[in-house]
Amino acid sequence: MTMKVADYILARLSEWGVEHVFGYPGDGINGLLAAWGRAENEPRFIQARHEEMAAFDAVGYAKFSGRLGVCAATSGPGAIHLLNGLYDAKLDHVPVVALVGQTHRSAMGGSYQQEVDLHSLYKDVASDFLETVTVPEQLPNVLDRAIRTAYARRAPTAVIIPADVQELDYSPPTHEFKMVPSSLDRSGWSAVPSSTAVQRAAEVLNAGERVAILVGQGAAGARQEVQRIAETLGAGVAKALLGLDALSDELPYVTGPIGLLGTRPSYEMMRDCDTLLTIGSSFPYAQFLPEFGTARGVQIDLDPHMIGMRYPYEVNLVGDARETLLRLLPLLERKEARDWQEEIIGGVRRWREVMALRAEVSADPVNPEYVARCLDPLLPSDAVLTCDSGSVANWYARHLTMRGEMRASLSGTLATMGCGVPYAIGAKFARPDRPAVALVGDGAMQMNGLAELITVAKYRHEWEDPRLVIGVWNNQDLNQVTWEMRAMGGAPQFRPSQEIPDVSYARFAESLGMTGIRVEKPEQVEQAWRDALSADGPVVVEFLTDPAVPPIPPHATWEQMEATVESIIKGDPDRASMIRQGLKAKVQEFWPHRKKTSDEA
Ligand SMILES: Cc1ncc(C[n+]2csc(CCOP(=O)(O)OP(=O)(O)O)c2C)c(N)n1
Ligand SMILES: [Mg+2]
């Protein structure tokens, strides 16, 4: 039997080591689907409920496997649905290839059914590589380049294949004018900066007395080296949210996340340092970095396109984090003075106490911080964690401590809602031998999570470690935005946009044959997590949490508290409970130390 273009595409994906394609069918890719049948479903087609979820599955898969994520969708509506997930890949620098159908070549330009100008639509999201296959000889090059570019630039790329082209007999490029051959070999490579640049960086770091290190996901391959450098320089290490799992929180000088969802010790370390070393992070919020002019800076980043723009760094080292740190380390002088690091360690200890106290604040009915706090010590040290966008990301960032082999990710840069459950599905295919835990708000569950539970139910029996725990913070509110409205403008909550219906997430899970647990009282929280983590299949555990517990920022000032109070005066419906919670939590933050620093005054 002759090989069709669609057969060739699947075979080539397998040659690249692709094992899963997350997708949704439609007649724009019928040729590919038929080829999948002939190939006995290799690489494996994993069916999501919606193309956006297929793209999120692929992003989660890529994040947790370190391999390429692949998704597939039909022309028109399918291609449109993929977009948000592909943007998530683009903004978080994740290699993903989208295979997208298109109408027949004969219909193109005819305002045909499901004909959308995909090149215009994907021009931005797949700006690193986007091509339509119009004749068989363009393959393998177009597919190879899409894959190679996705890996090289850590970006989404797209290959559009008109439906009739999928059905053509495959013929390879020949040794002729205007033919483009392609090869697959992918030997390893590492970028390293010049030795003069490394020397200049060492001079800056040696001159500093109070060094702060900021790591992002790009530092994940250099854990030991980051540790060695922090110990040599007597520094503290803050983590961007995407780099939460790049370093263990068991190291006493790790201050945890930075930024609005970050910790007070990260905030203070950046405020007070005289030298900043950033490794593999494009953390965007300059206001959480040292005041310009107060600290000298060195940045290490793999991507020459992303370097030097978040802070006026003095030295920008383009290179792989590990390779660069290995070259930097021998040039560094060990700092004998340890008072700076001791101060940081003290701050971390204090923060932990404050967080423990905050989680203990009583709430109506359950304190959302307590739910995360309770989970932390129960997490297996090989857990893969995902988190959705919403107030739950605050609790994920502040209460979960990374240790052992733990992996964790969220939509760090696009900060899109709806990725928590599909990321966890991607995680189960990437690491079927590990337990996965998703932390999700009720809004995100209603947006995407509920539908994707059906996908969980469909594939649940295939994972070697059957545990997939989906924790839902049921506060019947789009709480993160509610708080943003209150804190920023002093605007009261606008109920028609913020309040969301109560849904029984646990019963929905049960209707799919999974375990559902509903927690209505604080005393049930710990046992619920224990039961979920020891179940022999996926579990949805929902917690009725209090929307009036405020996610106070790490640099909370009294002015912000006042803005909050102002909104209450303007008639916020949650005011009574909120005042109680907001002030109580604030008081806890300063107790038992009661020491005021200037910006807390
Ligand atoms: C696709 C998308 N739409 C809207 C937003 C804005 N947004 C960010 S968090 C949030 C509320 C999330 O609510 P929920 O999932 O219930 O979590 P909660 O904040 O209540 O814990 C919204 C609407 C977003 N980030 N992404
Ligand atoms: Mg909510």
Q: Is pLDDT of 584 > 70? A: no
Confidence at 190, pLDDT banded by 50, 70, 90: very high
| Full-model pTM | 0.95
Distance, in Å, from the CA atom of 84 to the CA atom of 55, rounded to the nearest integer, reads 8
Pocket flag, ligand 1, residue 371 (CB < 6 Å): no
- Name the band, by pLDDT with cuts 50, 70 and 90, for residue 432: very high
Residue nearest to atom 5 of ligand 1 (CA): 417
Average pLDDT over residues 533-548: 97
Percent of the chain as helix, strand, coil, to the nearest 5: 45, 15, 40
The single-letter DSSP state of residue 412 is: -
Q: What is the mean pLDDT of residues 24-34?
A: 98
Q: Which atom of ligand 1 is nearest to the CA of 415?
A: 25
The predicted structure's pLDDT at residue 358:
86
How far, in Å, CA of 180 to CA of 182, rounded?
Answer: 7
Pocket test for ligand 1, best of 369, 371, 389 (most atoms within 8 A of CB): 389
Residue to substitute in 52, 411, 417, 574 for testing ligand 1 pocket (most ligand atoms within 8 angstroms of CB): 417
Closest ligand 1 atom, residue 392 Cα = 21
478 CA to middle of ligand 1, Å?
6
Residue 554's pLDDT is: 75
> pLDDT tens digits, residue range 237-282?
999 999 999 999 999 999 999 998 999 999 999 999 999 999 999 9
- Which residue's CA is the closest to the ligand 1 atom numbered 16? 443
Ligand nearest to the CA of 444: 1
Q: Is 411 near ligand 1, meaning CB less than 6 Å away?
A: no
Least confident of 33-37, 120-124, 182-186, 369-373: 182-186
pLDDT tens per residue across span 467-508: 999 999 999 999 999 888 877 666 777 888 889 999 999 999
What does the pLDDT look like over 440-468, one tens digit per residue? 999 999 999 999 999 999 999 999 999 99
Quick one: which atom of ligand 1 is closest to the CA of 84?
A: 1
- Tell how far the Cα of 445 is from the centroid of ligand 2, in angstroms: 9
Task: Check residue 593 and give its pLDDT.
Answer: 42
pLDDT higher than threshold 90 for residue 550: no
Instruction: Decide if 536 contacts 458 (C-beta within 8 A).
Output: no
Buried b (16+ CB within 10 A) or exposed e, 556-585: beeebbebbbebbeeebebbeebebbbebb
Evaluate: CB of 443 within 6 angstroms of ligand 1.
yes
Cβ of 473 below 6 Å from ligand 1: yes
pLDDT single digits (tens) 47-90: 999 999 999 999 999 999 999 999 999 999 999 999 999 999 99
Residue with CA closest to ligand 1 atom 9: 390
CB 415 near ligand 1, within 6 Å: yes
Q: Report all structural domains of the chain as residue ranges with CATH numbers, in order of start.
A: 5-166 (3.40.50.970), 195-346 (3.40.50.1220), 361-590 (3.40.50.970)
Residue 499 C-alpha to ligand 2 middle, in angstroms? 8
Cβ atoms 349, 263 nearer than 8 A: no
Return the SS3 of 349: helix
Rounded CA separation 212/230 (Å): 9
| pLDDT at site 188 | 85
417 lines ligand 1 (CB under 6 A): yes
* Ligand 1 nearest atom to the CA of residue 446, by list position: 15
Instruction: With a cut of 70, say whether residue 509 has pLDDT above it.
Output: yes
For residue 553, the model assigns a pLDDT of 74
How does residue 594 score in pLDDT terms, banded at 50, 70 and 90? very low
Please enumerate, as own/partner, the contacts of 579-584 that have beta carbons within 8 Å and a separation of 24 or more.
580/548, 581/361, 581/363, 581/546, 581/548, 581/549, 581/550, 582/548, 582/550, 582/552, 584/361
387 CB within 6 A, ligand 1: no
Ligand 1, atom nearest to 416 Cα: 26
Mean pLDDT of 169-173: 97
Residue 596 has pLDDT above 50, yes or no: no
* CA 54/CA 48 separation, integer angstroms: 5
Ligand 1 touching residue 479 (CB < 6 A): yes
Instruction: Give one DSSP letter per residue of 228-295, joined into a string.
Output: HHHHHHT-EEEE-GGGGGGS-TTSTTEEEE-STTS-HHHHHHHHH-SEEEEES-----GGGSPPTTTS
**Three-state SS at 454:** helix
E-state strands within 351-467? 384-387, 407-410, 436-441
| CB of 441 sitting under 6 A from ligand 1 | yes
The residues, any chain, with a CB within 8 Å of residue 600's CB and separated by 6 or more, are 556, 557, 558, 590
Q: Is 391 in the pocket of ligand 1 (CB under 6 A)?
A: yes
- CB 444 less than 6 A from any atom of ligand 1: yes
With tokens 């919403």, the residue in question is: 390
Name the residue with tokens 């739910």: 371
Q: Which of 369, 399, 411, 480 to mutate to test the pocket of ligand 1 (most atoms within 8 A of CB)?
A: 480
Selected residue with higher pLDDT from 115 and 601: 115
User: Which pLDDT belongs to residue 585?
Assistant: 65
Lowest-confidence range among 18-22, 138-142, 564-568? 564-568
pLDDT at residue 598 greater than cutoff 90: no
Ligand 1 atom closest to Cα of residue 475: 20
Given a cut of 60, whether residue 558 has pLDDT beyond it is no
482 within ligand 1 shell (Cβ under 6 A): no
CA of 478 to the centre of ligand 2 (A): 4
Q: How many CA atoms lie within 13 A of 367 on its CB side?
A: 23
| 313: pLDDT strictly greater than 80 | yes
Q: Is the CB of 214 under 6 A from ligand 1?
A: no
- Beta carbons within 8 Å of 581's beta carbon, 6+ residues apart: 361, 363, 546, 548, 549, 550
Q: Which among 409, 425, 407 is positioned nearest to 57, based on CA atoms?
A: 425
Instruction: Return the pLDDT at 263.
Output: 92
With a 6 Å cutoff on the Cβ, whether 474 touches ligand 1 is: no
For 337-351, the pLDDT digits (tens) are: 999 999 999 999 999
Angstrom distance (rounded) from CA 264 to CA 275: 19
Nearest 5°: the CA angle 295, 301, 305 is 105
Quick one: pLDDT band at residue 184, thresholds 50, 70, 90? very high
User: Quick one: tokens of 221?
Assistant: 């391959």
Determine if ligand 1 sits within 6 Å of the CB of residue 420. Answer: no
Residue 264 tokens read as 């007070």
Helix (H, G, I), strand (E, B) or coil at 2: coil
Task: Quote the CA–CA distance of 64 and 45 in Å, as a whole number.
Answer: 19
**Taking the mean position of all CA atoms in its chain, how far away is CA 567?**
32
pLDDT grade for 567, boundaries at 50, 70 and 90: low
Q: How far is the centre of ligand 1, averaged over its atoms, from the C-alpha of 589 (Å)?
A: 26
Tokens of 56: 């999120």
Q: Residues for the chain: how many in total?
A: 601
- What's the chain's average pLDDT? 93
Q: Round to whole Å and give the CA distance between 379 and 371.
A: 13
| 389 Cβ inside 6 Å of ligand 1 | yes
Q: Is the CB of 442 under 6 A from ligand 1?
A: yes
Helix axes 264-272, 339-360, angle to 10 degrees: 150
Query: Confidence class of residue 415 from pLDDT cuts 50, 70 and 90?
Result: very high
Q: From 251, 248, 290, select the one nearest 273 (Cα to Cα).
A: 290
Amino acid at 308: G
Atom of ligand 1 nearest to the CA of 444: 15
